[in-house]
Amino acid sequence: MSYLTLLVFDLVAVYCISQMDYWKSHRTLIVARDLVMGSSENGYEELPSYLHKIRMANPGTLARLEVDANNRFKYLFLAFSASITGFPFMRKVVVVDGTFLQGKYKGTLLIATSQDGNFQIFPIAFAVVDTENDESWTWFFRQLSRVIPDDEGLALISDRHKSIRKAISVVYLLASTGICTYHLYKNILLRYRGRDLFGLVKKAAYSFRLADFEASFEAIKGLNPDLHAYLERADVCKWARAHFRGDRYNILTSNIAESINRALSDVRSLPIVRLLESIRLMMTRWFATRKHDADLMKTSLTRGVEKLLEGRIPIANLLKVQAIDIHQSQVMGVSSLHVVNLTEKTCSCRRFDLEKLPCAHAIAAAEARKISRI
């Protein structure tokens, strides 16, 4: 039944019981909704059957239901086969986050997501647990590791939740870990109540070159030693792009996970089976739309990458290029000079190195040599 039908049903129910007192009206409306959507209790009863049907309809799907000693629901993990087979073609950066459920039994929805080649959200896995603690996050990452094995090339991004950090240290020993810069900024604004240094912190976090980072970080130290000490304790290797040990590309925040939370905000109060079905329908719409869009592309690049590179071309056209050898070029701007190596796909500005997409200097060097920009 559609949400529009449900809304109409609610309105009719409210109209019919408008002469009752408040509490009778409220209870009647709850009963009416349960008749249409099913109760929270029925949702848990239907869960094993629903998961079986999902596995049958989507071979390769990983669904794990864990119950306690009294056969009562404890944890649920679900990763659809489309996500499992698609992730190897994504950038190996996984963002994890949790959000509260609003149904009768509350609980928390845990999410793992990535970014596709078009800079769009790529959902990987979902879990329903009682709350965010050491046990639930460790269980979640153990299930996730069956979908995404531990690897030195993997990066995990999250907020600064202590249980997430502990769980990753138990399950993902090889992966690089980073923290969401947005949450870091919020903590800074709350603790230090000064927006004058916010720009410097952001500049330090987003710097590609170590020299640029150090210049901003030293300026912060001179203006506010306490803030500088706080940022050091937060570990620059986890929030500063120039110091990050792995590849996190352009993903510096947990926004892609939080965007899924917002997309699901209207269904977080539904019974658990209805919640999972809403997630399945959302992903079906997303993936079908993206496949159609990809089929329309006439180049090997995604629409998002094409747009990004097109935005850099006007800058590249203003640069002067001088060949150094068969691999390297010197690229000069009004007040800058950089060395590009097209064979190794590097540039001394380090944007090419860290984003893995050509910077304006690399585009200029490629154009001068009459070769592809990618």
313 and 173 inside one domain: no
pTM above 0.75, yes or no: yes
Per the structure, how many domains does the chain have?
Answer: 4
**Three-class SS state of 245:** coil
Query: Could you tell me the pLDDT band of residue 16, with boundaries at 50, 70 and 90?
Result: low
Cβ atoms of 139 and 66 within 8 Å: the answer is yes
199 and 60 inside one domain: no
117 and 172 inside one domain: yes
The reply to whether 319 falls in a domain is yes
235 and 357 inside one domain: no
The reply to whether 248 falls in a domain is no
170 Cβ contact partners less than 8 Å away, ≥ 6 residues apart = 138, 141
The reply to whether 55 falls in a domain is yes
20 and 93 inside one domain: no
Element (H or E) spanning 127, and its range? strand 121-129
Provide the 10 A C-beta neighbour count for residue 85.
Answer: 10
> Residue 322 has what pLDDT?
97
| pLDDT exceeds 50 at position 32 | no
206 and 171 inside one domain: no
217 and 268 inside one domain: no
Share of the chain above pLDDT 70, in %: 89
Torsion (CA) 1, 264, 177, 117 in degrees, nearest 10: 70
> Residue 10 has what pLDDT?
55
Start-to-end C-alpha separation, the chain: 48
Task: Count Cα atoms within 13 angstroms, Cβ side, for 182.
Answer: 11
105 and 123 inside one domain: yes
> Residue 338 has what pLDDT?
97
175 and 232 inside one domain: no
B/e letters for 214-228, b = 16+ CB within 10 Å, e = fewer, are: eebbeebeeebeebb
Strand positions, DSSP E, 17-87? 62-67, 73-79
> Residue 35 has what pLDDT?
45
| pLDDT exceeds 60 at position 38 | no
The reply to whether 247 falls in a domain is no
54 and 117 inside one domain: yes
Q: What is 67-114 written as a DSSP string?
A: E-TTS-EEEEEEE-HHHHHHGGGS-SEEEEEEEE--STT--EEEEEEE
Task: Count Cα atoms within 13 angstroms, Cβ side, for 259.
Answer: 14
Rounded CA gap, 15 and 126, in Å? Answer: 38
CATH of the domain at 171: 3.30.420
pLDDT tens, position by position, 106-141: 899 999 999 999 999 999 999 999 999 999 999 999
- Average pLDDT over all residues of the chain: 89
pLDDT tens, position by position, 181-194: 988 988 888 888 66
Rounded CA gap, 140 and 163, in Å? Answer: 11
| pLDDT exceeds 90 at position 177 | yes
169, two tokens? 């240290």
Torsion (CA) 225, 226, 231, 233 in degrees, nearest 10: 120
> Residue 101 has what pLDDT?
93
pLDDT tens, position by position, 143-174: 999 999 999 999 999 998 999 999 999 999 99
Residue 352 backbone dihedrals phi, psi, to 5 degrees? -60, -40
Q: Choose one of 265, 291, 317: the last residue of a domain.
A: 291
> Residue 26 has what pLDDT?
46
Least confident segment among 35-49, 103-117, 143-157, 326-340: 35-49
96, two tokens? 């994890």
> Residue 157 has what pLDDT?
97
The reply to whether 171 falls in a domain is yes
The reply to whether 374 falls in a domain is no
> Residue 105 has what pLDDT?
82
pLDDT tens, position by position, 206-219: 999 999 999 999 99
> Residue 186 has what pLDDT?
86
> Residue 22 has what pLDDT?
56
Closest CA to 312 of 330, 299, 296, 331: 331
Residue 250, Cβ density class (10 Å: 0-12 exposed, 13-18 middle, ≥19 buried): middle
DSSP 8-state code for residue 321: E
Query: Could you tell me the pLDDT band of residue 9, with boundaries at 50, 70 and 90?
Result: low
Cβ atoms of 54 and 63 within 8 Å: the answer is yes
The reply to whether 297 falls in a domain is no
11 and 103 inside one domain: no
Cβ atoms of 165 and 183 within 8 Å: the answer is no
Q: In what order do the strands lie in the sheet with 320-323?
A: 320-323, 328-332, 337-341, 346-347
118 and 73 inside one domain: yes
The reply to whether 185 falls in a domain is no
Give residue 329's domain range. Answer: 303-369
